[in-house]
Amino acid sequence: MNIKDIAKKAGVSTATVSRALNNPEKVRKDTLDKVMKIVDDNHYSLNPFARNLASPGKTNNVVLIVPNTMNPFFSQLAAGAESLFDEYGYYLHIYNVQKHLSERAERIREVLEDFGNEGFFDGLILAGSNFFNSTYLKSIPNIKKPCVVIEPAPESNQLDCVLVDERTGIWLAFEHLKKRKHETLGIVHGGADLDLTLRKMTYIEQLHAQFALETRKEWILGSSYDSIETSHQIMNRFLDSGAPRPSVFFCFNDIIAIGVVRACLDHGLRIPQDLAILGSDDIVLSKYLNPTLTTIKTPTEDLGKTAARVLLNKMTNPTLPPQRIYLPPTLIVRESC
């Protein structure tokens, strides 16, 4: 069954059926009831990709491209974006490019350019540091659809960006470390070549002198932003080495912190008495760890919702100048630090 069949059964036009499905408030109640009874009786489901047949040039579909779907950060981000798109009658589709990350860089560019130019989507949101290495930036000028990035896009002032004020988040964390009398700082990041790591390392260097925190090269550990297991292994290796420990490890996201906490507990360390752990993002799991995780809270759902709002404005008025919107972080103090 399709819209034409429903229209014929209901004795109305296809345009009326389309309004009943997409803008029911614009249809008389008796007509709406008649159409929806036929829809329910026949288990009809509107194919969102078919919208552009009835409305050329507009599909009411948007896509959120993420580097993986395992990290709860991205599911929280999607929830925020979807909540706003729903209000305006848009379908949010999520595309995970993880399977392409091990392929040649050109393949990622092809994926971005395909989504940024094909007729099934009105706009797209890019999330995740993987996209903003110099290799991937080459694809951005070839994206013709409205595009918003949830990340500062280096070397580009032509993109709408929604991001968190990470430097302020680290400053808040260091203020807390100072109050707790910490003087030595270890770091566990998720990849030395990723833009997120490079930014946070820069902010730490800028704030080091102000807070007099000592960091040694051997206390800077590389892990994965998306793997608890990898972080567990990395911290196990460090603790097995018997090397001197800092008083606190700053993990660049909570996924890393979870693995680090588990390794410390496996080695009989008390947290925070023997080693304090600080995370970043405040994913849902953080408050259920034992000990609960002190972390820099990213307003993740607000990030998604703000990106959705910017994209909706851009799709309505493509000539709007690019925006760079910063959302404030907060420090959530719990048991681990």
Please give the pLDDT value at position 53: 44
Per-residue pLDDT of the chain (337 residues; tens, 9 = 90+): 667 788 888 888 766 876 787 667 778 888 888 888 888 888 776 555 455 444 556 788 899 988 888 889 999 999 999 999 988 888 999 988 776 555 555 666 666 666 656 667 889 998 876 555 555 566 666 778 898 988 765 555 678 899 999 999 999 999 999 999 999 999 999 999 888 899 999 999 999 889 989 999 999 999 999 899 999 999 999 999 999 999 999 999 999 999 999 999 999 999 999 999 999 999 999 999 999 999 999 999 999 999 999 999 999 998 899 989 999 999 999 999 9
Where do the DSSP E strands lie in 128-189?
147-150, 160-164, 185-189
Please give the pLDDT value at position 29: 84
Complete DSSP assignment for 63-114: EEEES-SSSHHHHHHHHHHHHHHHHTT-EEEEEE-GGGTTS-HHHHHHHHHH
Rounded CA-CA distance 224/181 in Å is: 29
Tell me the sheet residues that pair with 281.
297
Rounded CA-CA distance 61/125 in Å is: 12
Rounded CA-CA distance 327/337 in Å is: 24
Which residue ranges form the domains of the chain, and what is each CATH number?
A: 3-46 (no CATH), 61-164+302-328 (3.40.50.2300), 166-297 (3.40.50.2300)
Tell me the pTM.
0.78
Q: Is the separation of the CB atoms in 42 and 34 below 8 Å? A: no
At residue 117, φ and ψ (nearest 5 deg) are -135, -15
